[in-house]
Structure 1
Amino acid sequence: MVAMLTRTALAGLVTLASLALAGHGGPPSPLEWGAGPLTVDALPRVVHVAHRGGAREVPENSMSGLMAAYERGTAQVLDLDTQMLRDGTVVVMHDATLDRTTHSHGRVRDLTAGDWQRVRLRPAKGLPGSWPAERPPTVAEVLDRFGGRIVLTMEAKDPRSLDALAAMIRGRGLTRSVFVNTNDPLMARRIHRLGLLSQLWRSAAQMRRDRPARWASFLDVLDVDHKAREADLERAVRSGVPRVWAHTVITPGERDRALALGCDGIVTDAPGRLAADERAAVSAVPSAVRPGATR
Structure 2
Amino acid sequence: MVTSVTSTGLAAVASVVALTLTGPPGPLEWGGGPLTVDSLPRIPYVAHRGGAREVPENSMSGLMAAFRRGTAQVLDFDTRVLRDGTPVVFHDATLNRTTFLGGEVRGLDAGEWRGVRLRPRDRLPGSWRSERPPTVAEVLDRFGGRIVLMLEAKDPRGLGRLAALIRARGLTRSVFVNTNDPEVARRVHRLGLLTQLWRSARQMRTDRPGRWRSYVDLLDVDVKARDADLRRAVRSGVPRVWAHTVVTPSQRDRALALGCNGIITDAPGRLARHPARVPGRVSAALGR
TM-score (norm 1): 0.88
Residue 180 of structure 2: which of 153, 158, 183 is its match? 183
2:41 counterpart of 1:44: yes
2:228 counterpart of 1:231: yes
Residue 127 of structure 1: which of 124, 129, 132 is its match? 124
Contact 2:149 2:176 in 1 (8 A): yes
CA-CA distance at 1:24 after TM superposition? 1.5
* Partner deviation per Cα, 1:169-190 (whole Å, 9 max, x = no partner): 0000000000000000000010
Structure 1: tracts of 5 or more residues without a match = 1-9, 282-289
CA-CA distance at 1:224 after TM superposition? 0.2
Higher fraction of helix: 1
Residue 24 of structure 1: which of 21, 26, 30 is its match? 21
Percent sequence identity over matched residues?
73
The residue aligned with 1:146 is: 143
Matches within 5 A, 1:193-204: 193-204=190-201
CA-CA distance at 1:28 after TM superposition? 2.4
CA-CA distance at 1:17 after TM superposition? 4.9
The residue aligned with 1:158 is: 155
2:81 counterpart of 1:68: no
* Partner deviation per Cα, 1:247-294 (whole Å, 9 max, x = no partner): 000000000000000000010000000001129x7xxxxxxxx959xx
The residue aligned with 2:91 is: 94
Residue 204 of structure 2: which of 198, 203, 207 is its match? 207
CA-CA distance at 1:135 after TM superposition? 0.3
In the alignment, residue 178 of structure 2 is paired with which amino acid? N
* Partner deviation per Cα, 1:205-256 (whole Å, 9 max, x = no partner): 0000000000000000000000101110000000000100000000000000
| Number of residue equivalences | 273
In the alignment, residue 78 of structure 1 is paired with which amino acid? L
The residue aligned with 1:104 is: 101
Query: CA separation in 2, counterparts of 1:13 and 1:101?
Result: 29
The residue aligned with 2:246 is: 249
Residue 56 of structure 2: which of 46, 59, 73 is its match? 59
SS where residue 169 of structure 1 aligns? helix
Query: CA separation in 1, counterparts of 2:18 and 2:190?
Result: 37
CA-CA distance at 1:124 after TM superposition? 1.1
Contact 1:28 1:146 in 2 (8 A): no
Residue 101 to residue 13, structure 1, CA distance change in 2 (3 Å): closer
RMSD value over aligned CA atoms? 2.2
Contact 2:22 2:67 in 1 (8 A): no
Structure 2: tracts of 5 or more residues without a match = 1-7, 278-285
